[in-house]
């Protein structure tokens, strides 16, 4: 066959290869285009929320007597308030997964006690330190037989130590192991948080783990049989992590953190969780959710009653926490009483009074919620925001919420949409130009109260979901 004929046969093949290469390149370009952009402060403010992952433990984030607390939680709340945005907090005690979510742009910040290491700095931005702590070995206190008790770093030679996978503890042990005669048997554990490993040491399931000294100190109150005197590192800087390239946001957070650490508020927060004897009392309390799993004495009652309105019981707990702080004898200046703070006229409708039992009070409150939901079902065409309408109605009365819907509709807004529509008109219903409008039937109300009520209950519910098991 002549060269020209060969060329004629090859041209279509070359053309097909060229097309396929172009398509592959187009796919690569497409993937690059779809990559999530780096988020800066202007994006956070435009979105109206700061997306943060933290870890759930005895110091960073927990529930005590129904109240959300924690060193990281209070710091992050202060940051969000400074930025003028809402804190959207999720829990992930798996460090590898948490770092992955940050790297992919699913969150803006990891609000944890993160040691700033060389390897981590290559992949992420870090803030200035929010605190410092040494890494210490957790082991059981010696009995009459002190075999296996570690008194110095060199004693770790050949020993098996369990640590959280992806943690700076794992990295530190790897470096230390290289200096010893026999390497340390490092077991990197997935899906277990540091405090769970401390618990396993205390119970004898494992012999050793590593933790930050301040965390070890707090946990030694709950596990008096553990010892943490052997240090495995010098004091390390602990900081928050942001996505690589988010330089402006990192700078903004650093500027705030630098000033915040000079305040009495920061010193108060730090002392509360790492220097106060009160944290020891909280940890030993049955209301310390990290250990007990309880929100209140009424958890079983709420689980039973919440079924009547198809609610998650933790949502009902969040409402009661807001209403009465779980005090069955609570009474407001306007006469509302009991766990669910029933107004006298509402209580009369359900045949209860201030002398009724907590069971009767909660039952009446749940029945009233069911009644309000029935009315809203008849009113709302779009049920997406019904829960927010329901919570506001429970707080301020259905009439005022319906007034806010009418104002929204009159002004060209969606009367079935809460945020940026009905919530705005309810918030402003304390102003004459709003409550004197002809479409308003129920007059003045202090709209800031139901407006904040909805926000606080849903935030508390989110925290309960993060921390407390459903069943």
Give per-residue pLDDT as tens, 21-62.
444 444 444 434 356 788 889 999 999 999 999 998 888 999
170 to 119, 202, 303, 318, 362: CA distances (angstroms): 12, 20, 41, 38, 49
Which residues on adjacent β-strands are paired with residue 69?
62
Given its phi and psi angles, is residue 420 left (phi above 0), alpha (psi -120 to 50 degrees) or beta? left
Number of Cβ within a 10 Å radius of residue 205: 10
Distance between CA atoms of residues 38 and 245, nearest Å: 7
pLDDT in tens, 167-214: 999 999 999 999 988 999 999 998 888 999 999 999 999 999 999 998
Selected catalytic residue, list 195, 227, 323, 459: 323
Distance between CA atoms of residues 57 and 463, nearest Å: 13
Task: Please provide the average confidence, as pLDDT, over all residues in the chain.
Answer: 89
Instruction: Please name the helix (run of DSSP H) or strand (run of DSSP E) that holds residue 239, with its range, or none.
Output: strand 236-243
pLDDT(224) > 50:
yes
- Domain ranges in the chain are 41-126+242-282, 135-233, 299-467
Q: What's the half-sphere exposure (Cβ side, CA atoms, 13 Å) at 23? A: 6
* Right CATH for 41-126+242-282 from 3.20.20.70, 3.40.190.10, 3.90.1150.10, 3.10.50.30: 3.40.190.10
Structure tokens at 167: 């943690």
How many distinct helices (H) and strands (E) make up the chain? Answer: 21, 13
Distance between CA atoms of residues 76 and 87, nearest Å: 7
Task: Classify 135-233 by CATH class.
Answer: alpha beta
pTM to 2 decimal places: 0.78
Distance between CA atoms of residues 405 and 425, nearest Å: 8
The verdict on domain 299-467 having CATH code 3.30.9.30 is no
CATH topology agreement for domains 41-126+242-282 and 135-233: yes
pLDDT(150) > 50:
yes
Distance between CA atoms of residues 246 and 251, nearest Å: 9
**Is 259 among the catalytic positions?**
no
Distance between CA atoms of residues 101 and 204, nearest Å: 34
Strand locations in 291-431, DSSP E?
A: none
Question: What's the burial of 455, exposed, middle or buried (CB within 10 Å: 0-12/13-18/19+)?
Answer: middle
pLDDT in tens, 286-342: 777 777 788 999 999 999 999 999 999 999 999 999 999 999 999 988 889 999 999
- The pLDDT assigned to 302 comes to 97
């Amino acid at each position: 066959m002549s060269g020209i004929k060969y060329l004629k046969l090859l041209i279509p093949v070359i053309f097909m290869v060229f097309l396929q290469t172009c398509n592959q390149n187009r796919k690569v370009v497409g993937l690059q285009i779809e990559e999530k952009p780096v988020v800066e402060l202007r994006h956070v403010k435009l979105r109206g929320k700061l997306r943060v992952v933290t870890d759930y433990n005895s110091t960073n984030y927990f529930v005590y007597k129904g109240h959300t607390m924690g060193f990281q939680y209070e710091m992050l709340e202060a940051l969000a308030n400074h930025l003028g945005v809402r804190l959207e907090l999720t829990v992930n005690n798996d460090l590898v997964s948490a770092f992955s979510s940050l790297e992919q742009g699913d969150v803006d910040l990891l609000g944890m006690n993160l040691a700033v290491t060389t390897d981590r700095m290559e992949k992420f931005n870090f803030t200035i330190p929010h605190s410092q702590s040494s890494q210490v070995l957790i082991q059981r206190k010696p009995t009459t037989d002190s075999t296996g008790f570690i008194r110095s770093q060199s004693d770790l030679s050949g020993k098996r130590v369990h640590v959280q996978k992806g943690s700076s503890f794992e990295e530190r042990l790897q470096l230390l192991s290289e200096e010893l005669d026999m390497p340390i048997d490092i077991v990197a554990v997935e899906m277990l948080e540091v405090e769970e490993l401390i618990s396993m040491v205390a119970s004898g399931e494992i012999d050793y783990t590593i933790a930050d000294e301040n965390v070890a100190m707090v946990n030694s109150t709950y596990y008096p049989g553990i010892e943490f005197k052997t240090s495995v590192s010098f004091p390390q800087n602990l900081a928050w992590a942001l996505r690589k390239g988010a330089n402006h946001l990192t700078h903004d957070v650093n500027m705030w953190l630098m000033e915040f650490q000079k305040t009495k508020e920061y010193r108060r927060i730090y002392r509360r969780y790492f220097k106060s004897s009160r944290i020891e009392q909280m940890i030993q309390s049955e209301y310390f959710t990290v250990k007990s799993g309880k929100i209140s004495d009424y958890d079983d009652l709420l689980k039973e009653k919440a079924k009547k309105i198809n609610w998650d019981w933790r949502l009902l707990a969040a409402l009661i926490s807001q209403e009465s702080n779980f005090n069955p004898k609570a009474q407001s200046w306007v006469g509302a009483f009991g766990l669910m703070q029933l107004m006298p006229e509402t209580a009369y409708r359900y045949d209860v009074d201030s002398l009724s039992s907590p069971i009767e009070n909660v039952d009446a409150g749940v029945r009233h919620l069911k009644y309000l939901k029935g009315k809203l079902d008849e009113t709302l065409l779009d049920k997406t925001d019904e829960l927010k309408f329901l919570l506001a109605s429970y707080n301020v009365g259905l009439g005022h919420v319906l007034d806010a819907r009418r104002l929204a509709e009159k002004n060209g807004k969606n009367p079935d949409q809460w945020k940026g529509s009905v919530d705005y008109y309810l918030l402003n219903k304390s102003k004459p130009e709003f409550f004197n409008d002809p479409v308003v039937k129920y007059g003045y109300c202090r709209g800031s109260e139901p407006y904040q009520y909805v926000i606080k209950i849903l935030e508390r519910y989110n925290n309960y979901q993060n921390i407390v098991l459903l069943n």
